[in-house]
Amino acid sequence: MEHTSWENVTYHAMVVSEEEGAFVRNIETLTLKDLPEGDVLIRVGFSSLNWKDCLSAMGNPGVTRRYPHTPGIDAAGIVAECTTGAFHKGDKVIVTGYDLGMNTAGGFAEFIRVPEEWVVRLPRGLTRKEAMMLGTAGFTAGLSVKRLVDLGVTPEMGTVLVTGATGGVGSLAVLILKKLGFTVAAVSGREERRDYLTAIGVDQVVPLDDAVDKSGKPLGKQLWAGVVDAVGGEVLETAIKNTRNRGVVTCCGNVRSGDLNSSIYPFILRGVSLCGIDSATCPMDERLAVWAKLAMDWKPDDLAEVVESLNGLEDLDEQMERMVKGERTGRCVVHIP
Ligand SMILES: NC(=O)c1ccc[n+]([C@@H]2O[C@H](COP(=O)([O-])OP(=O)(O)OC[C@H]3O[C@@H](n4cnc5c(N)ncnc54)[C@H](OP(=O)(O)O)[C@@H]3O)[C@@H](O)[C@H]2O)c1
């Protein structure tokens, strides 16, 4: 079918608009002309909710500069049209990160149109729904664990600490690490979520108060062989102080704070490595490698245990409010019928 024949097709999308200084979200009917230019038109079947989507939906200018806008940094679907020939109609694909859902209309819609370079073929071993149960959070957890493993952290070296462990990145990091045989400790600010953490395999729950060092000393006990941090601030600072000789700390998120006040001593006296994780700009070769692992030997056995499923875009608004208030646990996948 020719490119132009699609243009009057209508579709539904969540649209965030700025009205008198407030950001309002509605499900609207658009036509494919409203989508940006791009090589690959994708009929979205599933998307998922990530922290960045909440920021975009609530008008955070660090994420989205132009409104009206459709958020959704994740999408899995079927190629409707590809103008470059790199993909064929009917191919099952995933798009996560890059500019999707930031300043490019995102996955909270029945269609997206993106550059060919952003598109990942759905790996064998994952359904489109499973790919979105993982989504950016799972991909980021996978990247973080890959960094630990690549830099030599093994289950024999000791416990890995996961922060923000009841959240999307944290829950999936726990599941992947357990699948690889690691002993896992998890920080949580909520005592009532201890049972959830134990159920997903956490061996030791660290209350948030204990995860924030108040001694002022530059080094603490050597507790962790590795750390997957999704919260930043004092929690990350403390985790670095408590990392063992040659241990590795990954840092991907800032739900607590974007600040990091650390001395250099963990790095020069213990050889600790601090690695930044940026899933959005991850190069394609590493992206494919991580998705391949997530589809096969790193695929969490209990994925469904940490995922809530929505049918349609209508309930996403409420879930975003819950996420911002810290009331959500695990992941939220949305089926776009
Ligand atoms: N760099 C990347 O490529 C990348 C990719 C994905 C996500 N991220 C970032 O990673 C972070 C987590 O994302 P997510 O999707 O997992 O979010 P999420 O599902 O909302 O989870 C965040 C978790 O952090 C904990 N938390 C919240 N506020 C906290 C605070 N003030 N102090 C300590 N812990 C706190 C909460 O767990 P408890 O209540 O149990 O403590 C919550 O479950 C976000 O900053 C996100 O932007 C980065």
Q: Closest residue (by CA) to atom 24 of ligand 1? A: 164
- pTM for this entry: 0.96
Q: Give a yes or no: residue 281 inside a domain.
A: no
In a shared domain, residues 145 and 270: yes
Q: Three-state SS for 293?
A: helix
Between strands 224-229 and 243-251, the pairing is parallel
Protein residue closest via CA to atom 2 of ligand 1: 278
* Position 13 in a domain: yes
242 pocket-lining for ligand 1 (C-beta < 6 Å): no
Query: Measured from the CA of 330, which atom of ligand 1 is nearest?
Result: 19
- What does the pLDDT profile of the chain (337 residues) look like in tens digits? 445 577 789 999 999 999 988 999 999 999 999 999 999 999 999 999 999 999 999 999 999 999 999 999 999 999 999 999 999 999 999 999 999 999 999 999 999 999 999 999 999 999 999 999 999 999 999 999 999 999 999 999 999 999 999 999 999 999 999 999 999 999 999 889 999 999 999 999 999 999 999 999 999 999 999 999 999 999 999 999 999 999 999 999 999 999 999 999 999 999 999 999 999 999 999 999 999 999 999 999 989 999 999 999 999 999 999 999 999 999 999 999 8
Atom of ligand 1 nearest to the CA of 257: 31
Q: How far is CA 174 from CA 96, 151, 204, 272, in A?
A: 21, 18, 11, 21
Strands (E), 53-102: 74-82, 92-96
Ligand 1 geometric centre to CA of 137 (Å):
10
Cα separation, 25 vs 213, in Å, equals 40
SS3 207: strand
Q: Are residues 150 and 75 in the same domain?
A: no
- On whether both 78 and 206 belong to a single domain, the answer is no
Tell me, yes or no, whether 100 and 33 share the same domain: yes
Q: Looking at 276, 297, 324, which one is the last position of a domain?
A: 276
Please indicate whether residue 194, judged by its CB atom, sits closer than 6 Å to ligand 1.
no
- Quick one: 113 and 162 in the same domain? no
**Of 232, 260, 276, which closes a domain?**
276
Neighbours of 241 (CB within 10 A): 23
153 and 214 housed in the same domain:
yes
Number of domains in the chain: 2
Residue 4, pLDDT score: 53
**105 and 144 part of one domain:** no
Evaluate whether residue 23 is within a structural domain.
yes
Of 247, 318, 324, give the one whose Cα is nearest residue 50.
Answer: 324
Give me the residue label for tokens 């875009």.
313
* Helix, strand, coil in percent for the chain, rounding step 5: 30, 30, 40
For residues 173 and 256, state if they share a domain.
yes
Domain end residue (candidates: 276, 291, 323): 276
Q: Which residue of 48, 49, 51 sits with most ligand 1 atoms within 8 Å of its CB, as the best mutation to test the pocket?
A: 51
Task: Tell me the CATH number at 191.
Answer: 3.40.50.720
What pLDDT is recorded for position 8? 85
Question: Is 129 part of any domain?
Answer: no
Question: Ligand 1, residues 63, 169, 259, 324: which to mutate, most atoms within 8 A of Cβ?
Answer: 169
Q: How far apart are CA 127 and CA 239, in angstroms?
A: 35
Enclosing domain of residue 108:
3-122+305-335
| CA 40 / ligand 1 centre spacing (Å) | 31
- Residue-level pLDDT at 94: 98
